[in-house]
């Protein structure tokens, strides 16, 4: 099972969304709404604790004509994204545990309803079907199936090990309360204060001059601040380079700018993992205890 919400749009169509899915005008959004009143990345479905919630990103939300920044999803709830653009919650599925995957160089993450595992180093997980993948995994609603390239579909359960190239990936059961995407926090270190102004970002730390980042790298950090959680790289590049469509070029461009940003952080004696790739196609800000984010975007 996986935590999911079934939403109905104004045209009567239903759409199943899971944790991390974006609603907006972007072509890469899980629920794309072709309406000028909807922002590119308008809202995000997020598992917080044991609740599946809808979080406002670049757009607004309203319930019973009252604006809100987030709302817990429950059946029959109606959420307005803009006047006349209403989503109705048909059903919310919250199992006691969800299936996840992890490896030595692949941080633990929940499995999306359909995913492809590519034989890279480390393996990469895409939340969609990719014909070139070494392994495909998908949910049937009542269970999970796996198919290795050239093989037949097989049942998949917690405890299974998937060998992808030289890597052994473990299938694990994650209690629902532990599966949510709260901001990542690890052991204490020197605290940072990150002030995002969109075109510039200031990274402050005690007893040192702030690092000022500008240009594309500042926009990358500012978008991550505004999105408030892990985001698929495809969503991030659509926000940073909205007029570009060539995916391979955009992925290369993103990797180059992330590499340059990390070098700047390292040279300023700031931990370079502040902006982190999770190995599964998502980018996030890694926050330590005491870190502070100021969103002025």
**Confidence (pLDDT) at 179:** 67
Torsion angle in degrees (nearest 10) through CA of 246, 254, 106, 172: -60
Identify whether the C-beta of residue 143 lies closer than 8 Å to the C-beta of residue 133: no
Q: Are residues 78 and 155 in the same domain?
A: no
- Over range 258-279, report the average pLDDT: 84
Q: Are residues 125 and 204 in the same domain?
A: no
Nearest in space to 284 (alpha carbons), one of 233, 242, 250, 238:
233
**Confidence (pLDDT) at 216:** 94
Reported in sequence order, the residue ranges of 25-118 that DSSP labels E, i.e. its strands, are: 31-32, 43-48, 51-56, 61-63, 66-68, 70-72, 78-82, 85-93, 97-103, 106-110, 114-118
C-alpha dist (Å) from residue 78 to 51, 57, 63, 75: 17, 18, 7, 9
- Residue 201: pLDDT band (50, 70, 90) is very high
Pairing between strand 200-205 and 275-277? Answer: unpaired
**Confidence (pLDDT) at 184:** 37
Mean pLDDT of the residues in the chain: 85
Q: Are residues 196 and 153 in the same domain?
A: no
The pLDDT > 70 percentage for the chain reads: 94
User: Does the residue 184 lie in any domain?
Assistant: no
Q: Are residues 291 and 202 in the same domain?
A: yes
Domain end, chosen from 153, 177, 201, is at 177
Residue corresponding to tokens 């991550």: 224
* pLDDT over 60 (residue 62): yes
What is the domain range of residue 128? 97-177
**Confidence (pLDDT) at 72:** 93
**Confidence (pLDDT) at 188:** 39
- What is the pTM assigned to this prediction? 0.58
Q: Are residues 166 and 75 in the same domain?
A: no
- Over range 250-266, report the average pLDDT: 90
Q: Are residues 203 and 283 in the same domain?
A: yes
CATH number at residue 12: 2.60.200.20
Task: Report the SS3 class of residue 239.
Answer: helix
User: Does the residue 186 lie in any domain?
Assistant: no
H-only helix segments in 116-204: 176-179
User: Does the residue 183 lie in any domain?
Assistant: no
Q: Are residues 113 and 56 in the same domain?
A: no
pLDDT in tens, 96-112: 888 889 988 777 888 87
Q: Are residues 159 and 223 in the same domain?
A: no
Identify whether the C-beta of residue 258 lies closer than 8 Å to the C-beta of residue 275: yes
pLDDT in tens, 3-47: 889 999 989 999 999 887 889 988 778 899 999 899 888 888 888
């Amino acid at each position: 099972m996986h935590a999911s919400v079934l939403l109905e749009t104004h045209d009567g169509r239903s759409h199943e969304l899971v944790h991390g899915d974006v609603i907006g005008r972007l072509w890469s959004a899980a629920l794309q709404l072709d309406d000028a009143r909807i922002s590119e990345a308008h809202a995000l479905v997020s598992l917080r604790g044991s609740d599946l919630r809808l979080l406002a990103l670049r757009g607004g939300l309203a319930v019973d004509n009252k604006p809100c920044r987030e709302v817990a999803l429950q059946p029959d709830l109606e959420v307005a994204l803009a006047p006349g653009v209403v989503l109705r919650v048909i059903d919310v599925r919250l199992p006691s545990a969800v299936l996840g995957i992890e490896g030595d160089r692949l941080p633990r993450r929940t499995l999306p309803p359909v995913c492809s595992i590519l034989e890279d180093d480390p393996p990469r997980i895409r939340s969609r079907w990719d014909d070139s993948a070494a392994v495909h995994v998908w949910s049937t609603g009542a269970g999970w199936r796996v198919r290795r390239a050239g093989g037949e579909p097989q049942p998949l359960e917690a405890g299974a090990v998937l060998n992808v190239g030289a890597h052994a990936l473990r299938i694990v059961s994650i209690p629902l309360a532990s599966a949510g995407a709260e901001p990542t926090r690890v052991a204490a270190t020197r605290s940072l204060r990150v002030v995002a102004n969109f075109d510039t970002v200031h990274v402050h730390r005690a007893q040192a001059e702030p690092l000022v980042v500008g240009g594309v790298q500042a926009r990358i950090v500012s978008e991550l601040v505004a999105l408030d959680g892990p985001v698929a790289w495809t969503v991030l590049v659509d926000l940073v380079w909205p007029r570009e469509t060539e995916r391979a070029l955009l992925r290369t461009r993103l990797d180059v700018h992330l590499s340059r940003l990390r070098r700047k952080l390292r040279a300023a004696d700031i931990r370079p993992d502040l902006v982190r790739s999770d190995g599964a196609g998502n980018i996030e800000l890694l926050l330590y205890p005491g870190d502070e984010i100021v969103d002025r975007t």
